[in-house]
Amino acid sequence: MEISLRSYQKEVVQVALSGENSIIWLPTGGGKTRAAVYVAKRHLETHPKAKVAVLVNKVHLVDQHYQNEFRPHLGHTVNIVAISGDSQEKDFFGRVVRDSDLVICTAQILENAMINTEEDKHVELTDFTLLIIDECHHTHKDAVYNKIMARYVKGKMEGARNLPQILGLTASPGTGGAKTQEGAVNHVLQICANLDSVIVSTKNYVPELRMVVPRPIKKYDIVDTRLFDPFGEHLKEMMRMIHGYMASGITFRKMGTQEYENDVVELEKKGVREENRLLAQCALHLRKYNDALLINDTVRMVDALRLLQDFYRTKSENRMDATDIFLSGLFEENQVELRLLTLDTQNENPKLAQLQRTLVEQFQDRNSRGILFSKTREGTRCLYDWVCANPALQSVDIRAAILTGAGNGANHMTQSGQKETIYRFRVGDLNLLISTSVAEEGLDIPECNVVVRYGLLTNEIAQQQASGRARAMDSVYSVVAWAGGREMRREKTNEYLEELTERAVAEVQRMEPEKFRRKVSELQRAAVIERYVACKRRDEKRKRYDPSQVQFICRGCFTPVAHGDDMRVVNNSQHVNVNPDFKNYYQVGGQVHLGRTFEDWEPGRVISCASCGLEWGFEVKLRKVVVLPCLKIKGFSMKTPQANHTAKQWKEVEFAVEEFDFTEYVSSCFLDLDLD
């Protein structure tokens, strides 16, 4: 199929067609992917032994790019393979790359393949001649795009030959948090350095671009401050009772805010470090009450109550001491009063009434299709329940579904579930997606004409991306927020930052080529040195303690359950306990279902502390033979000779974890059986 480009697209691909590295900056709906397809086609036609990789940062974009763009335009002449986490091809990625002309995959799959040493799985950057990086503004800090490009930059500085050409695609490089012109320029230069690319945009065909990508009509659907909230006030009174029970003298910031959550997160860490269970447990319960206040501020009172009921249903089964009895008793004593308060519809959240008016207005046209953005998975679930139970919304034939990020948690969608939901939205079976930020980037629904941001605090990139989801003519972009609230202030700030981004990019583009190259080289050298120093520090941190010196303590009840030398790492990702005595400390629950299969392991049952019930992870069955407990580091504190520590991720632990040796482990198990 012949690829036709608009004039502004022809303009922005010229640098790439000359073989130079470049970032194409076009707004959402401007046809960045089509431009990339054109570049890939020309590259494959003109380079001997050409091989192209298209990298994306969201699973659903693999299939979208394959089905909508690359296969229709290149599939008849080019061997294209699309690979995501649930594709069998990822298990033979190296071989697939060797046998293909173009692969489309998540960046993490490429990163894993570069680390893997097995011949059928391993690839090098030099195996490719062109690397197309979608949503390339994510090429910063520890993001997987930047890990890949760090190898590229290091190779370039070491004089490596045959590095691939780079083509980045973005709707906005953003300002990186900078509020000044100088800071924004430095951020754009850093993105250019990370991608070893110049940034290009249309100069000669701006009017054409504006015609192709009309800005949606922006509406601020403002809600007057909630004057009377007896349900929320009752929750706050219960929280104050917990404050009093702690008798700690700690000052907290305003309840029902992110700042309050930060305070109780730090309090829980303090309780764990000091093995003060009263502090740690009170902090956990206060965080759940704060979550309920945030839900009450976003959706219905009954949703906030259900959140607490679900939480206390698990807690009531594992009461260990006076603290547990007090905290569970407090909720049980107030539950009836809270339920009665939820029945008074006069006190319901007025933001929901405004959201209802907004949706009813926009869906008068039965062909409307929209996306409702909310901050959290829990928020999307509550909004979905509200939409389905709302007669006014059902009367305008709103057919809704939830779209959240793929992952392994209980509240995550499977990758196949994501694909199915997006497909049903695209063909019109559904007309409203209730989504977290997963739908902000890249989701290609040309018919989408309504975008509603509901109680969101995000940056200017996310705001532009969300706005760009409204692609049809006369689209509406609505912001539903409290009058004078933080969401409104952030939305206005983001509008300023969007303009600042444009000025910063323009300044970078005006730089003399020699000055630009010099600045990029300086930033690249600094990044290489910074990564080297950070790597040395990580290695030193991992060697701080001998594994046998580190004792694992259950974070819920402070029971010592394991040591660091009991731990092994499998596939550089799963951390298992190989000590057979560990089974005495945990209980098993229901089977874990992840919605996809894996080459050499499968999930087993949930495991949790036998004493307090805190979830620790789940069993893994390795090569259909060995079943071992796979642990989440957040379920434990680690007692070292100096102090107690907590970690969010395994990479933060202060001892080296040995690689799991399957043969050695199985041999030792059989030896133990022989001795018995």
pLDDT tens profile 383-441: 999 999 999 999 999 999 999 876 655 556 877 888 889 889 988 999 999 998 776 66
Average pLDDT over residues 276-304: 95
E-assigned strand segments in 93-180: 102-106, 130-133, 165-170
Name the residue with tokens 């046209």: 365
Q: Is the pLDDT at 532 greater than 90, yes or no?
A: yes
Average pLDDT over residues 40-56: 96
SS3 494: helix
Q: Is the pLDDT at 530 greater than 90, yes or no?
A: yes
Residue 480, amino acid: V
Identify the burial level of 169 via C-beta atoms within 10 angstroms of its C-beta, where 0-12 means exposed, 13-18 middle and 19 or more buried: buried
Distance between CA atoms of 598 and 576, rounded to whole angstroms? 17
Distance between CA atoms of 113 and 208, rounded to whole angstroms? 42
Backbone φ and ψ for 177, nearest 5 degrees, come out as 90, -5
Is the model more confident about 660 or about 418?
Answer: 660
Distance between CA atoms of 25 and 309, rounded to whole angstroms? 48
Res. 232 pLDDT band, cuts 50 70 90: very high
Q: Is the pLDDT at 89 greater than 70, yes or no?
A: yes
Name the residue with tokens 């102090």: 643
Q: Output the pLDDT for position 9.
A: 98
Average pLDDT over residues 277-284: 96
Contact indicator for 85, 106 with CB cutoff of 8 Å: yes
DSSP 630: E
Q: Output the pLDDT for position 458.
A: 55
Average pLDDT over residues 78-90: 84
Structure tokens at 485: 């609230």
Of all helices (H) and strands (E), which one includes residue 515? helix 513-542
pLDDT in tens, 537-557: 999 998 999 999 999 999 999
The closest alpha carbon to 236, from 381, 124, 334, belongs to 334
Quote the mean pLDDT of the chain. 90
Task: Tell me the pairing of strands 165-170 and 400-403.
Answer: unpaired
Cβ atoms < 10 Å from Cβ of 647: 14
Which of the listed ranges 417-431, 463-477, 506-520 does the model predict with the highest average pLDDT? 506-520
Res. 464 pLDDT band, cuts 50 70 90: low
Q: Is the pLDDT at 150 greater than 90, yes or no?
A: yes
Q: Edge to edge, what strands does the sheet with 217-223 contain?
A: 217-223, 476-482, 450-454, 370-373, 432-435, 400-403
Name the residue with tokens 């709707």: 171
Structure tokens at 40: 């890939």
Of all helices (H) and strands (E), which one includes residue 359? helix 350-362
Distance between CA atoms of 37 and 102, rounded to whole angstroms? 11
Backbone φ and ψ for 478, nearest 5 degrees, come out as -110, 140
Name the residue with tokens 């010229």: 14
Distance between CA atoms of 201 and 23, rounded to whole angstroms? 9
Q: Is the pLDDT at 472 greater than 60, yes or no?
A: no
Distance between CA atoms of 459 and 507, rounded to whole angstroms? 22
Res. 655 pLDDT band, cuts 50 70 90: very high
Distance between CA atoms of 606 and 134, rounded to whole angstroms? 36
Q: Output the pLDDT for position 667.
A: 86
Q: Is the pLDDT at 653 greater than 90, yes or no?
A: yes
The closest alpha carbon to 473, from 489, 452, 449, 492, belongs to 449
Distance between CA atoms of 558 and 638, rounded to whole angstroms? 10
Contact indicator for 252, 68 with CB cutoff of 8 Å: no
Contact indicator for 316, 328 with CB cutoff of 8 Å: yes
Burial 104-138 (b: 16+ CB within 10 A, else e): bbbbbbbbbbbebeeeebbbebebbbbbbbbbbbb
Q: Edge to edge, what strands does the sheet with 574-577 contain?
A: 586-591, 601-609, 615-622, 626-631, 574-577, 567-570, 658-659
Res. 267 pLDDT band, cuts 50 70 90: very high
- The CA distances from residue 312 to 290, 318, 332, 335, 611, in Å, are 14, 10, 9, 11, 17
Structure tokens at 577: 């306990």
Q: Output the pLDDT for position 453.
A: 86
pTM above 0.85, yes or no: yes
Q: Is the pLDDT at 466 greater than 50, yes or no?
A: no
pLDDT in tens, 327-362: 999 999 999 999 999 999 889 999 999 999 999 998
